[in-house]
Amino acid sequence: MSALIEADGLTRILPETVPVTLVKDVSLSIDPGEFVAITGPSGSGKSSLLYLLGLLDLPTSGRLSVDGRDCGDMDEAARARLRLDKMGFVFQFHFLLPEFSARDNIAIPMRKLGRLSRGEINDRAEALLASLGLEDHVHKKPFQLSGGQRQRVAVARSLANDPALLLADEPTGSLDSKSSEQVFSILRALVREQGKTVLVVTHDMEMAGRMDRRIHLVDGMLADAEATV
């Protein structure tokens, strides 16, 4: 089986007067269907690494390939296309557009990709919402939803284009324990039942302990990446 993500010596240095090293010499490989936690102390570079792996930021040096494609010589349009086609993102704060309904928020990435008709997009958005227990909230705007419901809409949006890879940055960080558990269960089901690959940045070591593998960072570098499966 070939890896979905392959990083070799990935390094990101901010060119400040005194350069800031966010990520240093990270080499890793993520296989399809893995459920992986990225852990580490505050400021250790977890988000920075996730952004590099998600093609939201560019490494200063090192190589990255996603789905067998070398990202090194891609221009921003090619990176954007690969993101839209293969990746879904969930952040700590939902970043839903406030003036759009839940359904219309989910429709946006599908419209951008341009593969489905308007009717198909609406049907798929409604089906995604129903699959996450939100069938009664299709036409509600974000302010009419609870924090946990909003985050489930954000998960539905991340799944809009049926990505192989889901990248989540503290997806339960702003939720109470019940909603956190609900979102965690959804992510786990995406891996176990749909074979998706899910990478989650988390401070929550108990949650990380329930995932397949932990990638631990200290000062932007890999510490011990131990596997339990």
Ligand X SMILES: Nc1ncnc2c1ncn2[C@@H]1O[C@H](COP(=O)(O)OP(=O)(O)OP(=O)(O)O)[C@@H](O)[C@H]1O
Residue ranges of alpha helices (H) inside the chain are 46-53, 76-86, 102-113, 118-131, 147-158, 177-194, 205-209
**How many CA atoms, within 13 angstroms, populate the side-chain half-sphere of residue 191?**
22
Residues whose CB falls within 8 Å of the CB of residue 90, separated by 6 or more in sequence, listed in order: 151, 154, 155, 158, 166, 167, 168, 169, 171
| 17 contacts ligand X (rule: CB under 6 A) | no
| 20 contacts ligand X (rule: CB under 6 A) | yes
The tokens describing 7, both together, are 């990083």
Residues 66 to 125 in contact with ligand X, rule: CB under 6 A: none
Binding mask 145-184 for ligand X (x = CB under 6 A): ----------------------------------------
| Nearest CB to ligand X, comparing residues 45 and 54 | 45
Q: Which of 2, 14, 123, 192 binds ligand X (CB under 6 A)?
A: 14
User: What is the closest distance, in whole angstroms, from the C-beta atom of residue 83 to ligand X in the complex?
Assistant: 19
Residues 21 to 50 in contact with ligand X, rule: CB under 6 A: 22, 40, 42-48
Q: Which of 202, 166, 173, 170 is nearest to 89 (CA)?
A: 166
Q: Which of 211, 203, 151, 159 is nearest to 178 (CA)?
A: 151
User: What is the closest distance, in whole angstroms, from the C-beta atom of residue 157 to ligand X in the complex?
Assistant: 22
| Nearest CB to ligand X, comparing residues 49 and 96 | 49
Angle at 67 between CA 66 and CA 72, to 5 degrees: 35
User: What is the closest distance, in whole angstroms, from the C-beta atom of residue 207 to ligand X in the complex?
Assistant: 14
Name the site residues for ligand X (rule: CB under 6 A). Answer: 14, 20, 22, 40, 42-48
